[in-house]
C-alpha cells in the first residue's frame, strides 16, 4: 500500500512539475512561494486588525503568529527530521525528470513547511471570520493552496508533502482559532462593542 502510494506521488509530481506546465505558471509559481511578495498583504492584515479591533487586534495578530510558528516548528523541526524524506530535486529515482525553477534545498521534504504555515494562517482566520464573511473561505483556501501547489510546480516538494503540511497546518490553525474564540469571541464579534471602539 505504501509503495503504491509513493509511486502515485512520484507520478503526480512529474505531471505537475513537468507536464501540466505553461508560461503563466512558470512566471507566477516561483513568485507565489517568495515570502517577500506577501509582505504588503501581511502589513495590510495587521493594520486592518489593529484599526478595526484596536487592542483586541493585537491579540488576533499574536495568536495567528503563534499558530503559524507552532505549525512551522512541528513541520520543520519535528516531522521533517523524523521522516527523512528526500526532496524530489535530490531524489535519484527522479534524476533528469525534475524541472527545477528555484534553488534546491538540502533540507527534508515531508511535510511542506510552506503548506503547513500558510494553511495554519488561512484556517486560523477562517475560524475567526468565516461565519460573518463567507466569501473569505474561498479566498483564503485558494491563497494557501496556490502557494502550496507552487512548491510542487517549481520542483521542491511532492504532492504528499503538500497534503501532509496542509492537514497539519489546518489542524493547528483551527485549534489556535478555536482557542482564541473560546475566550475572545464575545467582544470581537459584538457589533455594538465594535461601534464603540
pLDDT tens, residue by residue, 153-197: 999 999 999 999 999 999 999 999 999 988 775 555 554 444 444
Residue 117: name the closest of 158, 65, 61 by CA: 65
State residue 141's pLDDT score.
Answer: 92
pLDDT at residue number 195: 43
Of residues 195 and 66, which shows the higher confidence score?
Answer: 66
Is residue 72 included in any domain, yes or no? yes
CA angle 53, 32, 132 (to 5 degrees): 30
Supply the DSSP string of 2-70, one letter for each residue: HHHHHHHHHHHHHIIIIIS--HHHHHHHHHHT-GGGGHHHHHHHHHHHHHHHTHHHHHHHHHHHHHHHH
Task: Tell me the whole-structure pTM to 2 decimals.
Answer: 0.87
Q: Are 112 and 59 in contact (CB under 8 A)?
A: no
Mean pLDDT of the chain: 88
Residue 90 domain-assigned (yes or no): yes
Q: Is residue 12 part of a domain?
A: no
pLDDT tens, position by position, 118-160: 999 999 999 988 777 777 788 999 999 999 999 999 999 999 9
**What pLDDT does residue 186 have?**
56
Within a domain: 38: no
Residue 68 within any structural domain of the chain: yes
Taking 3-state DSSP, the helix, strand and coil percentages for the chain, each rounded to the nearest 5, stand at 80, 0, 20
Distance CA 126, CA 137 (A): 6
Within a domain: 35: no
- We report the CATH number of the domain holding residue 180 as 1.20.144.10
Domain extent for 177 = 54-196
**Domain assignment of residue 122, yes or no:** yes
User: Are the C-beta atoms of 33 and 147 separated by less than 8 Å?
Assistant: yes
Q: Provide the pLDDT for residue 193.
A: 44
CB 176 within 8 A of CB 66: yes
Which percentage of the chain shows pLDDT scores above 70? 93
In a domain, residue 43? The reply is no
Task: Provide the number of structural domains found in the chain.
Answer: 1
Amino acid at each position: 500500500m505504501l509503495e503504491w502510494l509513493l509511486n502515485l506521488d512520484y507520478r503526480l509530481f512529474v505531471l505537475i512539475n513537468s507536464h501540466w506546465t505553461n508560461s503563466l505558471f512558470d512566471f507566477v509559481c516561483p513568485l507565489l512561494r517568495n515570502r517577500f511578495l506577501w509582505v504588503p498583504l501581511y502589513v495590510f492584515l495587521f493594520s486592518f486588525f489593529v484599526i478595526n479591533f484596536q487592542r483586541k487586534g493585537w491579540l488576533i495578530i499574536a495568536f495567528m503568529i503563534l499558530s503559524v510558528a507552532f505549525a512551522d516548528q512541528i513541520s520543520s523541526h519535528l516531522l521533517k527530521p523524523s521522516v527523512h524524506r528526500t526532496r524530489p530535486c535530490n531524489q535519484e529515482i527522479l534524476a533528469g525528470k525534475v524541472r527545477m525553477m528555484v534553488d534546491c534545498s538540502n533540507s527534508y521534504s515531508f511535510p511542506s513547511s510552506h503548506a503547513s504555515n500558510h494553511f495554519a494562517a488561512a484556517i486560523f482566520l477562517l475560524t475567526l471570520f468565516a461565519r460573518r464573511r463567507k466569501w473569505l473561505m474561498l479566498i483564503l483556501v485558494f491563497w494557501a493552496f496556490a502557494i502550496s501547489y507552487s512548491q510542487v510546480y517549481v520542483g521542491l516538494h511532492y504532492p504528499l508533502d503538500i497534503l501532509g503540511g496542509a492537514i497539519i497546518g489546518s489542524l493547528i490553525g483551527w485549534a489556535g482559532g478555536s482557542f482564541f474564540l473560546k475566550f475572545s469571541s464575545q467582544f470581537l464579534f459584538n457589533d455594538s462593542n465594535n461601534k464603540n471602539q
